[in-house]
Structure 1
Amino acid sequence: MKKVVAITGASNGMGFEAAKLFAANGWLVYGGARRVEKIPITPNVHALSLDVTDHSSNKVFIQTILAEAGRIDVLINNAGYGEYGPIEDIPLDNARNQFETNFFGAADLSQLVLPIMRQQESGRIINVSSIGGDVYMPLGAYYHATKAALQHWSDSLDMEVKQFGVRSITVQPGLTRSGWGDIAMSNAKKNLTAASVYTPLLDRVGGLLSTNSHAIGASSESLAALFYTAATDKRVKRRYFHSLSDRALVWLARSHPNLFKNGFEAVFKYLEKRSDKAGI
């Protein structure tokens, strides 16, 4: 019997590559996304329309999988985005939508799959957070808040359901070689008020994200492999990191918050000076 995985946000990036990887390894994959036409069309992949902010959509997604496959072995809560912007400027409706997508969508889908996983006496819920659940930068306050919430929620869930053979796991990617940073900064620009005093800050943060994420970030393929490890590991870990540097940054931010803050500010000032010299 093929194992069954449900993957949200399967139309691009990590979710797209994860759908292909699980299918290539013989899993029956159900990929969900709003842009259903962009989900990979390969053997073993079933593309379903999904809006994680809509309970009815989530319910149909899970019910369809159970009707066709009869079980769900792994749920990967991957759907998410960065609603960047200054706290003073960003509309709270946009901040609420960030939570609906990055946090409450995962919570809703998990509630829907837990009864079948308990009945199976097995299952894994893999919650895709970010090192941004522990580290932070300007303009990303609501994004970081959603990821921090997801991590603590996942840990609490794991303590509740482990007794039933079900595990809740967190994956924390760092910078990725993708368009994530460009989308986040596009949202930040939209969230600026007229004549905002934070425009220069946006330019600096945008330079940091676009430069580093494309130069040293992890590929979507390597992060999909990390998802697969989390889904199949015989000894389940509470956290999964792509690299030692990602793990080290999280350790620094949690263990030495002032040192992390001072270090980030020093790097940020250096980048500001370099940008000024370049006339940016």
Structure 2
Amino acid sequence: MSSTTTGATGRTALVTGASSGIGEATALNLQRLGFTVYGAARRTDRLKALADQGVRPLAMDVTDTTSMAAGVEKIIDETGRIDVLVNNAGYGSYGAIEDVPLQEARAQLDVNVFGAAELIRLVLPHMRARRSGTIINVTSMGGKIYTPLGGWYHGTKFALEGLSDCLRLEVKPFGIDVVVIEPGGIATEWGGIAAEKLKDASEHGPYAAQAAAVAESLSSPASARRNSPPSVIADAIGRAATARRPKTRYTAGFGAKPLIFTRWLLPDRAFDALITRATGVPRT
């Protein structure tokens, strides 16, 4: 074994949003690396394929504190430890800020930000007691860049990036690592869900032309063909979970590294023009 990695035998990992896509691939990869893995989702029937391969299914709703507390307690009762928390649960809700009801905006924040934060609060006492642990927050390249009609989604990812940076400083004295994973375009259900949310919010009215273009960019077959498989992100999470000194950020998946670099390089209005062209939004 490389001197830069640690053995996973006897270590426990909790992965949220494990019923499909990145979460499912991550749960299986961590199990292959030797972790006892709990795959969490609201509906355990969607975890049967994982359970058949040895991942332990866990009913958990990341918008329900009681559900999360019960899940963490179950893991501690059964294994005595949580070494790695992967906050992967999340979804994309697009639409013009003027159009999206605040109820939907709050729902997006509840899942993408507050759910992750509450799980962190629940596992930290156990990690601090052992003076070790790794918290892995799956954000997005959308936590570093922005797109038209994606205000609430990007807002949640920017928030999780900032929360992760502050948390990293807070828990370092206790031997706990905090890692951010920034996926690019990944072949999951995410794009289709985001496109449907976008149509519901802004298909009609003053933002209709923008909505049509962005929905097409999110869900077109051409875009889907370019996207990377979920295993690309699962591999990055596996590296972070087993490293003796993990990087603070892992960026992987279609478009992520060049787009984040371009955002860093360009002034705001130049990036505005580039991302507007890239999403096919008509310019007035």
Give the TM-score taking structure 1 as reference length: 0.91
Residue type of the alignment partner of 1:223: I
What is aligned with 1:266? Answer: 277
CA–CA distance in 1 between the matches of 2:223 and 2:164?
26
| Match runs of 1:135-146 below 5 Å | 135-146=145-156
What is aligned with 2:246? Answer: 236
Which of 110, 113, 127 in structure 2 is aligned with 1:103?
113
What is aligned with 1:205? Answer: 214
Which of 17, 40, 56 in structure 1 is aligned with 2:25?
17
CA–CA distance in 2 between the matches of 1:57 and 1:257?
44
Aligned residues: CA RMSD = 1.8
Residue type of the alignment partner of 1:141: G
1:217 CA drift (Å) = 1.2
Query: Taking structure 1 as reference, are residues 147 and 173 closer, same or farther at Cα in structure 2, changes over 3 Å only?
Result: same
CA–CA distance in 1 between the matches of 2:261 and 2:190?
24
CA–CA distance in 1 between the matches of 2:216 and 2:46?
29
With CA pairs under 8 Å and 6+ residues apart, which has the higher RCO, 1 or 2?
A: 2
Q: Work out the percentage of aligned pairs sharing the same amino acid.
A: 39
8 Å CA contact 1:176, 1:213 repeated in 2? no
SS at the partner of 1:41? helix
CA–CA distance in 1 between the matches of 2:78 and 2:253?
37
Greater mean alpha carbon deviation, residues 42-51 or residues 87-96: 42-51
What is aligned with 1:277? Answer: none
SS at the partner of 1:171? strand
CA–CA distance in 1 between the matches of 2:182 and 2:14?
19
Query: Taking structure 1 as reference, are residues 236 and 25 closer, same or farther at Cα in structure 2, changes over 3 Å only?
Result: closer
CA–CA distance in 2 between the matches of 1:204 and 1:136?
15
Superposed CA deviations along residues 168-222 of structure 1, whole A, max 9, x for unmatched, are: 11000011112211100111122238x4222221110111122354121110122
Structure 2's unaligned 5+ residue stretches are 1-8
Greater mean alpha carbon deviation, residues 105-114 or residues 258-267: 258-267
1:254 CA drift (Å) = 3.2
CA–CA distance in 2 between the matches of 1:127 and 1:176?
16
What is aligned with 1:253? Answer: 263
1:244 CA drift (Å) = 8.7
Structure 1's unaligned 5+ residue stretches are 274-280
CA–CA distance in 1 between the matches of 2:94 and 2:35?
35
| Match runs of 1:1-280 below 5 Å | 2-39=10-47, 40-192=50-202, 195-211=204-220, 213-242=223-252, 245-258=255-268, 259-269=270-280
CA–CA distance in 2 between the matches of 1:25 and 1:46?
15
8 Å CA contact 1:177, 1:213 repeated in 2? no
Greater mean alpha carbon deviation, residues 26-35 or residues 242-251: 242-251
1:231 CA drift (Å) = 0.8
8 Å CA contact 1:20, 1:42 repeated in 2? no
Greater mean alpha carbon deviation, residues 253-262 or residues 67-76: 253-262
CA–CA distance in 1 between the matches of 2:202 and 2:272?
24
1:235 CA drift (Å) = 2.8
CA–CA distance in 2 between the matches of 1:186 and 1:245?
22
8 Å CA contact 2:141, 2:182 repeated in 1? yes
Query: Taking structure 1 as reference, are residues 105 and 44 closer, same or farther at Cα in structure 2, changes over 3 Å only?
Result: same
